[in-house]
Amino acid sequence: MSSLTEKDRPIVQLLLNSGTCPRCILRFCCVGSQMLYRCPYKDLMKNLREFLKNNKEKEDTVCFDVVDPPCKRIRLEQMEEGPDDLNHNRALQQIPTVNNENTAIENSALKVCNVCLGILQEFCEIDFVKKVCQKVNSSDYQFTSFVFSVSLPPQLSVRERAAWLLVKQEMGKLGLSLAKEDIVQLKEAYKWIIHPQLSEELGVPADGKSLFEVSVVFAHPETDEECRFLATACPDCFKPAKNKQSVFTRMAVIKALEKIKEEDFLMHFPCPPSSPMNLSVALEIQCNNGAVFVAGRYNKYSRNLPQTPWIIDGERKLESSVEELISEHLMAEFKADSFNFSSSGREDVDVRTLGNGRPFAIELVNPRRIHFTAEEMKGLQQTINNSSDKIQVRDLQLVTRSAIGRMKEGEEEKTKTYSALIWTDKAIQREDIAFLDDIKELKLDQKTPLRVLHRRPLAVRCRIIHTMKSEYIDEHHFRLHLKTQAGTYIKEFVHGDFGRTKPNIGCLLNRTADILELDVESVDVDWPPTLEN
């Protein structure tokens, strides 16, 4: 909350001489006024030089201040500076007649700051802001706020450390100390400057919790090797990770900087840091929207449709899939990069899902469009239903990420009801199957079915058949309705799976039985909420 005072003078001089930009100088002098950082670069430079020229003839506390109109983009935070300061400043401010020395220096080409490598210089200018906004607008996202995230090259931390050591040393001479925590962080200062500008160009506020992220990656190839000395000084901080290109990540560098001793640091790294030839570059400007979730229930009417695409060795074995038929239209409407489909359990390719259908949720990754009214969702539902007779969806709605948990709990805990068409080898009469209706809470021991054993661990599952209802058809056929615990293998309960599911229909009827058809009649999960039609 301070401006520059007398005691800052030697620091300012030192840093300016070593090639540090005005905003970094303000940072190292712990100036906390956001407004100051937002002032145009040229004005800051000019006023710093003014400040330096003002010698002890003036009052002890010299206020470094910048008057309007130079700062056009300042918001009401200006309240920090009282009217007194303004008057005081006018007296101090020199009218644009500068002496020769100053002109020469000011007119020289912009020196790239040796601490921020240009981040607080070039990349605070309106040109860059416009470049970012151009990328945002051309990417065609729907958003109501944004969060701006910045990735800085690791060598910035090294240079920051060198500058701090330099300043600390100088202040030590004055009998003063400077804690690392008091220095204004580069990222923070950068955001002070750029947020209002971005906000104005995009027309929406900056919000840390926003789902829409604009991210920029900065790099400075010229100084990339500067972190290398840390590897010899602190080798255990830099373990090669398989999926990272460079071992010198920001985190690793910061850790090493914490460990390294001051003397060692100064031995290997110039203090003050050298002036680079080039500015940093903005490698990537990317936009990303947080995922949206669409939930509903699906019915499956085909006995030839897998849940997920069935591809072996690059060859598709069966046409389409439940998830593709549903997601295709959502992807198009939401303009997402990709999707993740999950459901409360699933059925085999040859099993139909009837009744209210099975709950599902689709995560749409990086959607361009995120706002849909209930009407629009209904329209989407209709589109999906019109596009295929193999599946139908209902209760299509937007949900939150946390809602997925409810769906998954349904998979493990809730009951399901089925209808099975069963064949027997030896003839049956009505009386032979009637007793099935009276069996309640039948306990099964099911070893992992042979048909999935190649991809599941071998185990024994205890499952319960709650109720059964039989429907006699003829001497070799009957239909069985069952209500079972989640995770019960119905087909194996019918044919016995080589005796590995006990008891089974075959042994209950003392015959060999097999299943001809299976339908899911209901999935007893009351999520997602039923929508009125």
Q: How far is the CB of 451 from another protein (least distance, A)?
A: 8
Residue 348 designated active-site: yes
Rounded Cα distance between 458 and 451, Å, is 12
User: Is residue 305 within 8 Å of 318, Cβ to Cβ?
Assistant: yes
Under rule CB under 8 A, how many of the chain's residues touch another protein?
Answer: 13
Q: Which is nearer to another protein, 180 or 454 (CB)?
A: 454
Find the shortest distance in angstroms from Cβ 495 to another protein: 9
Contact region with another protein (CB under 8 A), list: 308-316, 401-409, 491-499, 516-524? 491-499
Closest residue by Cα to residue 123 from 283, 287, 275, 4 = 283
Count of beta carbons in the 10 Å neighbourhood of residue 512? 14
What residues have CB less than 8 Å from 75, skipping those under 6 apart?
196
CA distances from 305 to 104, 214, 372, 388, 425 (A): 78, 40, 30, 12, 29
| Shorter beta-carbon distance to another protein: residue 367 or 506 | 506
Of 127 and 348, nearer to another protein (C-beta) is 348
| CB of 429 vs another protein, minimal distance in Å | 24
Per-residue HEC secondary structure of 286-337 comes to EEEECCEEEEEEEEECCCCCCCCCCEECCEECCCCCHHHHHHHHHHHHHCCC
**Which residues, 137 to 196, sit near another protein by CB under 8 A?**
none
Shortest distance, position 160 Cβ to another protein, whole Å: 49
Q: Which of 499, 510, 526, 529 binds another protein (CB under 8 A)?
A: 499
Buried b or exposed e, range 216-248, using 16+ CB within 10 angstroms = bebbbebbeebbebbbebbeebbeeeeeeeeeb
Is 425 or 475 the residue whose CB approaches another protein more closely?
425
Nearer Cβ to another protein, position 191 or 495? 495
CB atoms within 10 A of CB 329: 18
Identify which of residues 126 and 450 has a Cβ nearer to another protein in the complex.
450
Do 399 and 293 meet the contact criterion of CB atoms below 8 Å apart?
A: yes
Confirm or reject binding of residue 491 to another protein (CB under 8 A). no
Is 311 among the residues that bind another protein (CB under 8 A)? Answer: no
Q: Considering the complex, what minimum distance in angstroms separates the CB of residue 499 from another protein? A: 4
Q: Following CA atoms 341, 343, 345, 350 in sequence, which dihedral angle do they give, to the nearest 10 degrees?
A: -70
Binders of another protein in range 438-477 (CB under 8 A): 447, 450-451, 453-458
**Tally of residues, the chain:** 533
For position 329 contacting another protein by CB under 8 A, the verdict is no
Tell the smallest beta-carbon distance from residue 487 to another protein (Å). Answer: 17
Query: Smallest distance, Å, CB 512 to another protein?
Result: 8
Helices (H) and strands (E) in the chain, counts: 18, 15
User: Is there binding between residue 496 and another protein (CB under 8 A)?
Assistant: yes
DSSP strand pairing (351-365 vs 513-523): parallel
Residues 162, 275: contact at Cβ < 8 Å? no
Distance between CA atoms of 164 and 272, rounded to whole angstroms?
9
Stretch that binds another protein, among 113-121, 329-337, 426-434, 492-500 (CB under 8 A): 492-500
User: Which residue's CB is nearer to another protein, number 109 or number 459?
Assistant: 459
Based on the shown chain and the rule CB under 8 A, indicate whether residue 422 belongs to the binding site for another protein: no
Told to check if 498 binds another protein by CB under 8 A, we report yes
> Looking at the DSSP assignment, which residues form a beta bridge with residue 146?
206
If the CB atoms of residues 40 and 503 are measured against another protein, the closer one turns out to be 503
Q: How far is the CB of 425 from another protein (least distance, A)?
A: 11
Alpha helices in 56-185 (DSSP H): 83-92, 100-107, 126-138, 155-173
Q: Which of 348, 350, 425, 445 is catalytic?
A: 348
Question: Which of the ranges 96-104, 161-169, 396-404, 494-502 carries the binding residues for another protein, by CB under 8 A?
Answer: 494-502
- Read off the tokens for 55: 């010698």
How far is the first Cα of the chain from the last one, in angstroms, to the nearest whole number? 59
Binding residues vs another protein (CB under 8 A): 447, 450-451, 453-458, 496, 498-499, 512
Q: Which residues are catalytic?
A: 348
